[in-house]
Amino acid sequence: MGDGRAPAPTRRPPPDATDAAEGRRRPDRLLRRAGTASQLALGGLLASSPLIDAAGLGSSPAFLLGGLLLGLPHGAVDHLVPAWLSARARPLSARVALLAAYTAVAGAGLAAFRAAPDLALVGFLTVSVVHFGTADEAFHAERDRRPIRPRVAAVLAYGGPPVVIPLVLWRDQVDPLLAAVAPEAPALLTVEVRALALATVLCAVAATALRDACAGRARDAVQPVLLAALFSTVPPSLAIGAYFAAWHSCRHVARLLRHDPRNAADLGAGRVGPPLRRFARQAAAPTVVAVTALLALVSWPGQRADPLPAAVAVLAALTLPHAALVAWTDRRVPVLRRPTR
């Protein structure tokens, strides 16, 4: 017999909580596609390595410079990212201050290359390993809608192959470039240092691939192995240029499209064209400024005929504030929700 009271209503979670929980279970579509595209691009290059070797292609520095220039826009909107991730509008003075600090850090990096090029280059290589590795870890975390917590082994597995493997397996091509930028750098990187670094990276690749395979992430398990194979078989100028443009920059741009709040409606409806055009407009002016400054430096009176050392020094200097800002961003990116339609 009832007591005359109506049954208590069943409590249901609010729609946004349900959507967030569902979103965390579904990989982000844009980032998943960007990851697949970059994997296919470098996989195709790796599959073509016998033809590249037979034709004697891939060793020209033009591939390296071309890839670096194609990937340059991925850092061109760094000054906008803090505002995208902020809960409130940032005043113009804050953005100007950020640009000033960004320029100052890049200038300090360029000054370090002029004052102590050997130590600066070794430091840049170390920063590159960390930056490349944490970028892939953050990309995977955002794709899977989980907090960004980079694992040391995974950082080495993803960031080590583009830097360490060419230093060990392609010394005949890499050391002349290092010596052109910093004459004593090849001597600092002794055979023992390079061998230890390679062993560490290969162990990290194996451990990361095994961990992802055991967790059922077969595609992720393939990725560090793919990078290790690519940089072992494809000449470094082509491999690094392709990696920077088609892997590192492509994945970072996909993350940036997700971070810009104005893209939410388009991405929620599956439209990538408008966000890409918006990004192109935002990145155009900073990219032109960076390329102009680069051309001015390499064509400065008295500059050596080979523009590559100056170009590498400038791009390395720009990497320092970019890597710092990306690291700051990774600590503040919320777990992505599934876009609403």
User: What's 288's DSSP letter?
Assistant: H
Write down the pLDDT at residue 87. 60
- The two tokens of residue 78 are 């760094």
If we measure between CA atoms, which residue out of 135, 130, 18 comes closest to residue 71? 135
Q: Are 27 and 141 in contact (CB under 8 A)?
A: no
Give yes or no for a contact between 67 and 314, defined as CB atoms under 8 angstroms apart: no
Q: Answer whether residue 297 is part of any domain.
A: yes
Q: Please, how many CA atoms are within 13 Å of residue 102, restricted to the half-sphere of its CB?
A: 23
Would residue 263 count as lying in a domain?
A: yes
Long-range contacts of 182-186 (CB under 8 A, 24+ apart): 182/113, 182/117, 182/118, 182/120, 182/121, 183/117, 183/118, 184/118, 185/117, 185/118, 185/121, 185/122
Residue 216 forms part of a structural domain:
yes
pLDDT, one tens digit for every residue, the chain (341 residues): 445 554 444 444 444 444 444 444 567 899 999 999 999 999 999 999 888 887 777 778 888 888 988 998 999 999 889 888 876 666 777 778 888 888 899 889 888 888 888 899 999 999 999 999 999 999 999 999 989 999 999 999 999 999 999 999 999 999 988 888 888 888 889 999 999 999 999 999 999 999 999 999 999 999 999 999 999 999 999 999 999 999 999 999 999 999 999 999 999 888 999 999 999 999 999 899 888 877 776 666 555 556 667 777 788 888 899 999 999 889 887 755 544 44
Query: Cα–Cα distance between 295 and 106 in angstroms, integer?
Result: 16
Q: For residues 303 and 128, what is the distance between their CA atoms, to the nearest angstrom?
A: 26
92 contact partners, CB below 8 Å, separation of at least 6: none
Report the Cα–Cα distance between both ends of the chain, in Å, rounded. 47
Kindly provide the b/e burial profile for residues 161-197, where b requires at least 16 CB atoms within 10 angstroms of the residue's own CB. bbbbbbbbbbeeebeebbbbbbeebbeebeeeebeeb
Flag whether 264 is in a domain: yes
Residue numbers of the domain that contains 122: 27-330
| Cα–Cα dist 217/220, whole Å | 5
Read off the tokens for 133.
């590795």
In a domain, 241, yes or no: yes
337 within a domain of the structure (yes/no): no
The reported pLDDT for the residue numbered 135 is 96
Kindly state the tokens that stand for 263. 């893209």
- Helix (H) / strand (E) element for 58: namely none
Q: How many whole angstroms separate alpha carbon 51 and alpha carbon 188?
A: 35
d(CA 200, CA 195) in angstroms, rounded, equals 9
pLDDT of residue 32: 94
User: Three-state SS for 234?
Assistant: coil
Question: Closest by alpha carbon to 166, among 185, 194, 193, 206?
Answer: 194
In 3D space, the residue among 81, 92, 68 whose CA is nearest the CA of residue 282 turns out to be 81
CA distance 121 to 26: 41
| Domain-located, residue 18 | no
pLDDT at res. 290: 82
Q: Are 163 and 236 in contact (CB under 8 A)?
A: no
Q: Please choose, from the candidates 83, 150, 153, 158, the residue with its C-alpha nearest in 3D space to the C-alpha of residue 128.
A: 158
Are 131 and 326 spatial neighbours (Cβ–Cβ below 8 Å)?
Answer: yes
Taking the CA of residue 70 as centre, how many other CA atoms within 13 Å lie in the half-sphere pointing to its CB? 17
**How far apart are the C-alpha atoms of 242 and 58, rounded to whole Å?**
11
For tokens 């907090």, what's the residue? 147
Q: Is residue 115 part of a domain?
A: yes
**pTM for this entry:** 0.86
Q: How many Cα atoms are found within 13 Å in the side-chain-facing hemisphere of 198?
A: 16
Using CA of residue 263, residue 268, residue 272, residue 273, what is the dihedral sign? negative
Return the structure tokens found at 155: 């950082």
Q: CA-to-CA distance for 227 and 224, rounded, in angstroms?
A: 5
The total number of structural domains in the chain stands at 1
